[in-house]
Amino acid sequence: MSGDIETLVGMGFSRGKVQKAWKAVKGAGLQPAMDWLLEHPEVTDEPEEETEQGQSLSAATSQATSAATEEGEIVDGEQTAQSLICNDCQKLFRDATSAERHAIKTQHQNFSESTEIIKPLTEEEKKQKLAELKARLAEKRAKESESSIEERKQAERIRRKAGQDMSAVKEEMEAKEMKKVFDAKKREKELDRIAKANIKAKIEQDKLERQAKREAAKRSTPQQQQQQQPAAAPASRPVKMEYNEARLQIRIPNGAPLTHTFNAEATLADVHAHLQNNGIDGQFSLSTTFPRKTFGDADLGKTLKELGLTPSSALALGYT
C-alpha cells in the first residue's frame, strides 16, 4: 500500500489528495486510486483530520475486537468481498469504479461481490499503469491547452470586432460633421449670392432710371424744359421708404452665419450685444460686404435706419 501511495505522490499528486483517494477506493490498489484522482480534480490538498470522538471510537472498537478474537481471525459469515465479478463475462474488478467503466464499455449489467482476491500488480504492471496515467494526464493537459488557445482566439476576435465597430461609428460621426460644415458653407454662399444679386438689381434699376431721364430731357424743347423744370423738381426727389425692421445676416469666420431681425431703431451696439449673447467673444467689428464699409466705435450709438441697414443687409464679422 505504501509503495502505491509513494508512486502516486511521485507522479505529482499531493499526499493529501492521494490519501483521500486511497481512502475513497478503500485501498483497492494503484489503478482505482489513479482513476479516482482523475475523476475528482476538485478535491483539495488538505488532509482529512479525524475527530477525537472518532479516534476514541476506533480505538475502543479495535480493543474490543482484539479481545474477542485472535489477530486476523474472523468468524463464520464475516467474510468480506474482495472484488466484483461480471456474471456476463466472469471478469474480476478491484472496485465499483472499475466495474462501472466495464459496464459502460460492454453494456454488461450483471455484477456481484466475490471473495476472490485479485493479485497485486507486479512492478511491470505498475510501470505500465503509470505510463497509461501519464499519457492520460498529457492528453488532458493538451485538451485544456487547446481549449485555452481557442478561448484566447475567440476573445481576440471579439476585441477586433469591437474595434471595427468603434472605427465605423467614428467614421460615421466624422462624415456627419463634415456634411454639417459643408451645408453651412453652402447656405452662406447662397445668402451671399442673393445679397449680391439684390445689390446688382438695384444698381441696374438706378442706371435705367437715369438713362430714361436723360432720353426724356433730350426729346423735350427748351420751352418745355423751362415749364417742366419747376414741376419736375419735386418729382425728381426719390421717395424715401420708411422701414420698421432690419433683417441682418452676419457671417462668422469658421462658423455658420447668424441671421436676426432687429427693430429699425435699434443701435449698432444692440447688434454687438446680440452677438456676444450668442457666443461671439473678444474685440470685433462689423462691415458691409458690398460696397465695403467698416463700422467703428463712433457708429455704435447710431440706429440701423441711420446706418442704412434696413430693410435687409449682409454684414461680415471681423476680429480686431
Q: Give strand pairing partners of 285.
A: 318
Q: What does the chain come to in residues?
A: 320
CA–CA distance, 173 with 181 (Å, rounded to integer): 13
Contact 129, 31 (CB under 8 A): yes
Residue with the bigger pLDDT between 13 and 193: it is: 193
Number of independent structural domains in the chain: 2
CA–CA distance, 154 with 163 (Å, rounded to integer): 14
Last residue of a domain, one of 140, 168, 188: 140
Q: How does DSSP classify residue 320?
A: -
Q: What is the pLDDT of residue 56?
A: 43
Give the three cell numbers for residue 85. 465479478
> Residue 86 belongs to what domain range?
2-46+81-140
How many other β-carbons are positioned within 10 Å of the β-carbon of residue 57? Answer: 12
Per-residue pLDDT reduced to its tens digit, 211-253: 888 888 888 655 555 555 554 445 555 556 677 898 989 988 8
Above 50 in pLDDT, residue 319? Answer: yes
Residue with the bigger pLDDT between 178 and 126: it is: 178
Per-residue pLDDT reduced to its tens digit, 264-302: 899 989 998 998 898 888 888 899 987 788 998 888 889
Q: What is the pLDDT of residue 62?
A: 45
> Taking the chain, what is the end-to-end CA distance rounded to the nearest angstrom?
100
In a domain, 127, yes or no: yes
Per-residue pLDDT reduced to its tens digit, 54-110: 444 344 434 434 444 444 444 444 445 567 888 888 788 777 777 788 888 888 888
C-alpha separations of 37 from 18, 20, 135 in Å: 8, 9, 15
| 126 and 7 housed in the same domain | yes
Above 80 in pLDDT, residue 202? Answer: yes
In a domain, 23, yes or no: yes
Q: What is the pLDDT of residue 57?
A: 37
CA–CA distance, 139 with 141 (Å, rounded to integer): 5
Contact 34, 5 (CB under 8 A): no
